[in-house]
Amino acid sequence: MTERAGMQDMTTGSVRGHVVRMMLFVLAGLVIQTLYALVDIYWVGRLGKEAVAAVALSTNVMFISMGVTQMLSVGTVALVSHAAGRKETGEVQRVFNQAQCLSTFCGLVFLGVAFALRRTYVSALAGDGATAALATTFLGGFIPALALQFTMIGLAAALRGIGDMKPGLIAQTASVLLNMVLAPFLVFGWVSGHPLGVAGAALATLVSTVAAVVGLMVYLARGKTFLRLRLASWRPDWRLWAKILGIGLPAGAEFLLMSLVMGVVYATTRTFGPEAQAGFGIGNRVMQAGFMPAIAISFSAAAVVGQNFGARQLARVHEVFGEAAKLTIGFMLVFTVLCHIAPEGLVRVFSPEAAVVDVGADYLRTVSYNYVASGLVFVIAGVFQGLGNTWPSLMASGVRALLFVVPVTWLSKQPGFEMHTIWLFSVGSVTFQLVACLWLVRRELRIQAPLPASPAPAG
């Protein structure tokens, strides 16, 4: 095996081809990851609206974990892809091992903090006592599963940085298939005769995550990639940790801002009862599923931009942005039309209750007006990640959160407040975010990746 086995050189060849190839791998992984959530909500939906609302409350905790893991992932992808673009395989190895050490440490911290605060979190957001009790039970198994995800972040990010997506995809596929098989047996007590309810859904996710981690560790041990786990290299390099976190912190903070927005939505809908929270929870899961192509394109753009930026192929950096934007607009237009013509059908898959369907359908139909804008925001974030400067993206997200959180929180305390108002403010704030992102990315490309001046015309 060569020293660079598994590494894909994305500094030559078709830019669109590289973006699409990586997008398909990332999209497959995201589909599988989303199936985790959809499988849980599908089976739990048969237990009643309180159970659905309880599992939906876990979404915010998941966003918090995604915020931290995104911070680790973005920093790792940027540094690995830059080193790969420069063909410095030794530096790739060093970043990979340090990222694994840092990710494992952060996972342990997340486990301790989230588990200790889960009851406080549920009490603050649950619409009633039954939902709160079920949510606490579900989080008891779901939080350890989220913490285990941290151990895979360093590996997955490094593999994405070198363009090798297959190992993570295989592990995720096997994991979700196991989860789909285990969930109904544990939730309803098939064969065993001992139904576990929402606890069974959480346990199925935990067991499946453990299986994925073990599978990736076996893959590394067999030496199928030039990446190597070397515990001797895990002694913290504080300077490199600071560099990883410095690049990834804004991207992670963006996810935490999304978590804040989600928290405000749950807090302002709690007075409308569990039907409202369940409807929003289902609608939000459906929207996340529809956004998968845009997120996949964003992830692939970050890696392709990173390698070409490291190799100083600046014209190709601009080309990646253009190709990624066109692909995203196409996917998001299709999803927008779907949410306009059949929102009730999308929600009814997960809950037959009319009140839940009405809330979820109104949410999807209204927020679908900003799907294209949201997709482009994701793509621009990927470009910033590839360039190694994610602060501009955070600035735009911060303004969006401010424009949403402040007025919605105030209006929710006024007489006659309706949930539909929340969705309208979401559309307006995301539209403003896109305008800010477009201006910021054009400015950043001019500074970091300037194109050569066109030659003056002869004569």
Instruction: Give the pLDDT confidence of 90-112 residue by residue, as tens digits.
Output: 888 898 899 999 999 999 999 99
Rg of the chain, C-alpha, whole Å: 22
Taking residue 220's Cβ as centre, other Cβ atoms within 10 Å add up to 15
Say if residues 40 and 201 touch (Cβ distance below 8 Å). yes
Residue 455 is assigned to a structural domain of this protein: no
* Torsion region of 13: left, alpha or beta (phi above 0 gives left; psi -120 to 50 gives alpha): left
Q: Average model confidence (pLDDT) for the chain?
A: 86
Enumerate residues 6+ apart whose C-beta is below 8 A from 437: 376, 377, 380, 381, 392, 393, 396
**Residue 458 maps to a domain:** no
375 confidence band (pLDDT: 50, 70, 90):
very high
Residue 239 has pLDDT above 90, yes or no: yes
Is residue 456 pLDDT above 70, yes or no?
no
Provide the residue range defining the domain that includes 175: 15-448
Predicted TM-score (pTM) of this structure:
0.74
| Average pLDDT of the segment spanning 336-362 | 91
Please give the Cα distance from 38 to 199 (Å, whole number). 16
Is 229 exposed, middle or buried (CB count within 10 Å of its CB: 0-12, 13-18, 19+)? middle
Please tell me the predicted confidence (pLDDT) of residue 58: 80
Residue 93 domain-assigned (yes or no) = yes
Contact 275, 355 (CB under 8 A): yes
What is d(CA 391, CA 252) in angstroms, rounded to the nearest whole number?
A: 11
Q: What is the pLDDT of residue 166?
A: 75
Q: Indicate if the pLDDT at residue 1 is higher than 50.
A: no
Position 369 pLDDT exceeds 90: yes
Residue 456 lies in a domain: no
In the numeric block, the tokens 């673009």 are attached to 85
For residue 373, the model assigns a pLDDT of 96
- Per-residue pLDDT band for 39 (boundaries 50, 70, 90) equals low
**Is residue 383 very low, low, confident or very high in pLDDT (cuts 50, 70, 90)?**
very high
When divided into structural domains, the chain yields a total of 1
In a domain? residue 453: no
Question: 8 in a domain, yes or no?
Answer: no
Q: Which of 18-22, 376-380, 420-424 has the lowest mean pLDDT?
A: 18-22
- State the distance between the two ends of the chain, measured CA to CA, in whole angstroms: 56
Cβ(393)–Cβ(426) under 8 Å?
no
Cα–Cα distance, 329 to 334 (Å, whole number)? 9
CA distances from 391 to 199, 309, 336 (A): 39, 18, 29
| Interval 122-137: pLDDT, tens | 988 887 888 889 999 9
Contact 95, 133 (CB under 8 A): no
pLDDT at 143 over 90: yes
Q: Which long-range contacts (CB under 8 A, 24 or more apart) does 7-12 make?
A: 7/84, 7/89, 7/92, 7/162, 7/163, 7/164, 7/226, 8/162, 8/163, 8/164, 9/84, 9/163, 9/307, 10/163, 10/303, 10/304, 10/307, 10/308, 11/85, 11/307, 11/308, 11/311, 11/313, 11/316
Summarize the confidence of residues 412-441 as an average pLDDT. Answer: 93
CB contact at 8 A, 52 and 282: yes
Tokens encoding 238: 């504080």
316 within a domain of the structure (yes/no): yes
pLDDT greater at residue 192 or residue 203:
203
* pLDDT band (50, 70, 90) for residue 311: confident
**Structural domain includes residue 154:** yes
